[in-house]
A and B are shown apart, each in its own frame.
Chain A
Amino acid sequence: MEFHPEPYALVPAVLHWAKAMGSFLLIVLSIAMLTSVILHGNKGPKIVISWINSGLRDLLGISFRRVWALAQLTIREAVRRKALMVFVVFSILFMFASWFLQDSTLRPDLQLKNYVSFVFRTITFLVLPVILILACWGLPEDIRLRSLHTVVTKPVRRSEVVLGRMLGFSTVGTIILVVMGFVGYLWVVRQVPTMLQQIDEVVENVRVQSNKTIEGVELKFEGDTLPSGVEAAYSLNNISELRQQSPAAYDLYEKALDLESRRVLACRVPVYATLEYMDREGRTEDEEGKKVGGISVGYVWEHREYIEGATKARGMFTFRNVTPVDRLLLESRFEAFRTHKGRMGQSVLCQYLIVNPETGVQVELPAFEIAEFTQNVVTIDRKLSYYDQEQSKEIEVDLFDNMVFDDDKIRIDVRCLDSGQYLGMAQSDFFIRQPDNPFHISFTKAASGIWMMMVLIIIISVTGSCFVKGPVAILLTSAMVVIGQAFREFMAKLVSGEQRGGGPIESAYRLLTHMNDTSDLPKTTSVGIMKWLDELMVKDILWIVQNIVPDFSHFRMSPYVAEGFDVPWDSSLLPALIVTVAYMIPCLLIGYYSLCLRELESK
């Protein structure tokens, strides 16, 4: 899975929302005006304005007491209608899940990945449909049975009815989600001990050995049990000393670190860099002044770009906002692409270089063999040394005092040392690993992703159910979810004109005339008209659809957890939150006016 390390662009997103919302409001307003003028003549605009007025007054007069009363009603309804039966299905699934999921041939971390994905998938697929159906069914049923009659003849604003429903279903969903999440968490954690045993053994070994064999090196372990290898690494005072004094202990330490990095219930907190490339001649820009990229090795779905080994080609990772720490933990996950078999039993060699472009100082770190399909973990001490050619001696530098440039940037270059081999990398492949968070934090965050998605679905469902009947609302919402999950990219491509074969009319034409999508159409007027119509349909109508349908992909946070990462706030949680809130406001308006403008009489 590819992570997008870029922080979410909040301001443009909000502006885009304001734009979309504004145009939407304008369209609705003009349609309302038009119909009102047609229906009521001169008085039309006045009527619309009075509606807006009363709408605003109603929205301002919302009382939380009433909203909560209605929400409570919704909760009671859901509970008494046996919505909580989902728990039964849930527990049955979990009782037998490990039968099907257990696969001892898998590496522990991959196995755990399965478990985590299973938990989140189960929760998602159980909670969301149930909540969707409940939320779509609630209001129409209320209208059909006319029980809403006794409610709206009390001083209840229609906006409160909508809000109460939303709040009620959200509460029900939250309860279900919390229980399921908790059970799921316990289940995952309980699967782990066996896998972790071996890791713990090694870590324990390090502890015992390092305590015994190294003297003069202060080894600090907190408590009797070692919580994790990484913490051990951070509590060891001086790694390079350890290395000099006891290579054996250092080996074990490294092994522990490696295992630790794979330690499955991890919640790694990465700091990503920006990635630029240097080509085989050592240039960063080509003749036209464009930045050079890596080499494509021809994997179609691959997001990585490759650098050639034993040349001047490098991947240059620039980290921003670095703050001094005693040692940096670097983690990478590069791919090797081999043009020959290479050295027997060895992987591709790779080297990090810390570069300060301002002073030209370049510290080469020891080369290492990359571990494929898993992480390479390298720690760098704050005290570094490099061999200066001119002065022919080792020079000591401080990572943060000497190597930081532009106030807060550190550049670490990656190069491949084996000639004829290629090293593939992407921005998310290399990062500084900050102290880990406990696993339950990333688990909770990912669960909150599901939660936000659920809330959004509830918002859309309740809004839909304000103007259509239950089954239609269910269809409508499901369609939104499916389009928002699966077809967004496709639509984006269509809108941007990247999709081959043109829009609907052109495609139909090509289908009928057996013309393939790579051959060009003749430049005649009719083709022009066809293309123009297509353009109109695709650009405008799809643009609208694209802007109406929420991007549900923001809510998928479980891959982070499955891969052992923390769920980042600014590139994952924030956009999800923004999307949810952004839909809340227009939906509330739509729901409110649909309830106001319709007769609450079942027909």
Chain B
Amino acid sequence: MILLAKHTPCLRANEGLFRYRNQVFGAETRDDQSSVRDFGILAIDDRASKDDTSPQKPLFPTSSGFRSYSPVCPNSLIRLRQQASKFESVHNRQRGLERCLLDSQREKERMDNDSSVIQIRNLTKIYRDFWGRKKVEAVKSLSLDVNKGEVFGLLGPNGSGKTTTLKLLLGLLFPTEGELKIFGKPATNVEKNERIGYLPEESYLYRFLNAEETLDFYSRLFKGSSAERQKRIDELIDMVGLKHARRRQLKEYSKGMTRRIGLAQALINNPDLVLLDEPTSGLDPLGTRDMKDLILKLKEEGKTVVMCSHLLADVQDVCDRIAILFQGELKVLGKVDELLQEQEVTQLRTSRLSDAAIEEVQAVLQKHEAELVDVDHPTTNLEDLFLKTVYESKARPGQRYIPEEQASPSAASE
């Protein structure tokens, strides 16, 4: 049996979709009708879900604000249940469920539009030893999407499964469970690689080649005339600033230089999707700066970028959306600006005011007559969010972290 929490403001209009069997039920909030807010607990009968022949009708009164939607996604109920059971307290379970509902809503949206470049569904990866014994569960039922044209950041402490996720995406590892699609194709498909660039965690390049030979080798794995290739190679060597060392073997390179040539290698085919595993590690401040510029430039060109990084400031600068993993589990997923917004506080930014004026402003504000320059929620920085997520996850293992500011007061009153 699954409990759905009392309806909360967090479930905004049309967002609280819930799929059961072939039907999707949604909670609708109409602010003018308080009766809807009172709508209570949604119960789903386990037996009903097993019985295929039972009439597909809502298990709750549709009159009181739920509406049925067209059919989608049969699997999500089970997943929902799995995820919901991880939440311990009723309070958390409610919030968790709401989150799950939100997720499945988004999932549906993304499945509907073609804009998502990467689709990860319920992905699990277990590393096993030679005898098939389980060593680590590096990724635990991860679901997320990356949309076209966005810069997506994958964060998490060391060993949280970021690299594993990327390798799974590239078909270097095989998922233990779940599905992966890149450009709508499975990860093992080779043709999709025409449009992908990958910068590995460390530069796994051929150390006996020099920069030119390296790029020439990789470029010859793609179609194109030799003149074009040569042009591209020159461009890239120039871009990553290795002109002076283009004829030296990679084994003589410093770490940053290898990173640079690795980046050039990743961009050799002018890819639509770039997967960067810690792109800034080992780079000097200038290089880091260039890397950020480059990522933004790629975004401008309409390319999709997925990056792992520990440099949160950089991530905050360039990423549109982030996901934070902790021990293989997705803890936070969302738009950077939204995640960093503190809902509870409102920040006023005005032109310079004297102390006396401030008091006045406060009075004036009440009357809405002040010259407001900016009304905003103050933002934390990503570092705070990251640390909070990690500490919270450590304190309560197995739970999805939900930033406090998104929890509603009414849910807490349960």
Contact = CB atoms under 8 A, between A and B. Distances in A.
B143 interface: no
Nearest to B128: A603
A58 B171 CA distance: 15
A601 B204 CA distance: 12
Contacts of B188: 54, 596
B193 interface: yes
A54 B218 CA distance: 24
Given A69-B220, A150-B200, A156-B221, A58 B205 contact: no
B220 A150 contact: no
B172 A599 contact: yes
Interface string B170-192: 11111000000000000010110
A150 B204 contact: yes
A155 B173 contact: no
Contact of B172 (A69, A81, A147, A149): A149
Interface in B120-168: 129-130, 167
Interface string A63-92: 001101100110011001100000000000
Interface in B1-54: none
Nearest to A68: B220
B267 to A, nearest CB: 12
Interface stretch (B104-112, B206-214, B395-403): B206-214
A146 B200 contact: yes
| Residue of A77, A153, A155, A596 with most partner-chain B CB within 10 A | A153
A153 B267 CA distance: 12
B221 A599 contact: no
A159 B206 CA distance: 20
Contact of A76 (B198, B205, B213): B213
Nearest to A157: B190
Interface in A588-603: 596, 599-601, 603
Given A66-B220, A153-B193, A154-B221, A73 B206 contact: yes
Contacts of A151: 221
A401 B269 CA distance: 74
A153 B194 contact: no
Nearest to B169: A153
Interface size class of A (residues with CB under 8 A): 20 to 34
B173 A599 contact: yes
Contacts of A147: 204-206
A80 B170 contact: no
A151 B190 CA distance: 11
Contact of B174 (A65, A66, A69, A599): A599
B208 A154 contact: no
Contact of A603 (B129, B196, B269): B129
A145 interface: yes
Given A65-B220, A69-B221, A603-B130, A155 B265 contact: no
Given A156-B190, A601-B173, A76 B220 contact: no
B391 interface: no
Nearest to B199: A150
A77 B206 contact: yes
Contacts, number: 78
B222 interface: yes
Nearest to A151: B221
A153 B198 contact: yes
Main secondary structure of the interface of A (DSSP, over half): helix
A151 B214 CA distance: 11
B326 to A, nearest CB: 22
A69 B194 CA distance: 16
A155 B220 CA distance: 10
A56 interface: no
Contacts of B222: 154-155
Contacts of A61: 190
Contacts of B69: none
A1 B325 CA distance: 72
A337 to B, nearest CB: 63
B343 to A, nearest CB: 41
A127 to B, nearest CB: 22
Instruction: Give the size range of B's interface with the partner.
Output: 20 to 34
A69 B217 contact: yes
A154 B269 contact: yes
A80 B217 contact: no
A152 B192 CA distance: 11
Contact of B190 (A155, A601, A603): A155
A468 to B, nearest CB: 12
Contact of B194 (A65, A155, A157, A599): A155
A65 B269 CA distance: 16
B190 A58 contact: yes
Contacts of A65: 220
A146 B167 CA distance: 12
Contact of B170 (A68, A77, A153, A155): A153
Contacts of B130: 603
Given A66-B220, A601-B167, A76 B208 contact: yes
B208 A80 contact: yes
Contacts of A80: 208, 249
A472 B173 CA distance: 23
Nearest to B196: A153
A600 B204 contact: no
Contacts of A149: 167, 170, 172, 198, 200, 204
A154 B222 CA distance: 8
Contacts of A54: 188
Nearest to A153: B198
Contacts of B194: 155
A501 to B, nearest CB: 39
Contacts of B196: 153
B283 to A, nearest CB: 18
Contacts of A77: 206, 208
Contact of B218 (A146, A150, A157): A150
Contacts of A152: 171-172
A65 to B, nearest CB: 6
A154 B193 contact: yes
A155 B221 contact: yes
Contacts of A153: 170-172, 193, 196, 198
A603 B136 CA distance: 13
Contacts of A66: 220-221
A467 B119 CA distance: 31
Nearest to B194: A155
B226 to A, nearest CB: 10
Given A66-B220, A155-B193, A150 B205 contact: yes
B190 A72 contact: no
Identify the interface centre among B218, B220, B221: most chain A CB within 10 Å of its CB: B221
Contacts of A81: 208
A596 B186 CA distance: 14
Contacts of A156: 190, 193, 221
A243 to B, nearest CB: 70
25 contacts: A58-B190, A66-B220, A68-B220, A72-B217, A76-B209, A145-B204, A146-B204, A147-B204, A149-B200, A150-B200, A150-B205, A153-B198, A154-B193, A154-B218, A154-B221, A154-B222, A154-B269, A155-B191, A156-B190, A156-B193, A596-B188, A599-B172, A601-B167, A601-B173, A603-B130
Nearest first, the 4 closest Cβ-Cβ pairs linking A and B are: A146-B204, A69-B220, A80-B208, A154-B221
Given A146-B204, A155-B190, 10 more contacts: A54-B188, A72-B217, A76-B208, A147-B206, A149-B170, A154-B193, A155-B221, A599-B173, A601-B172, A603-B130
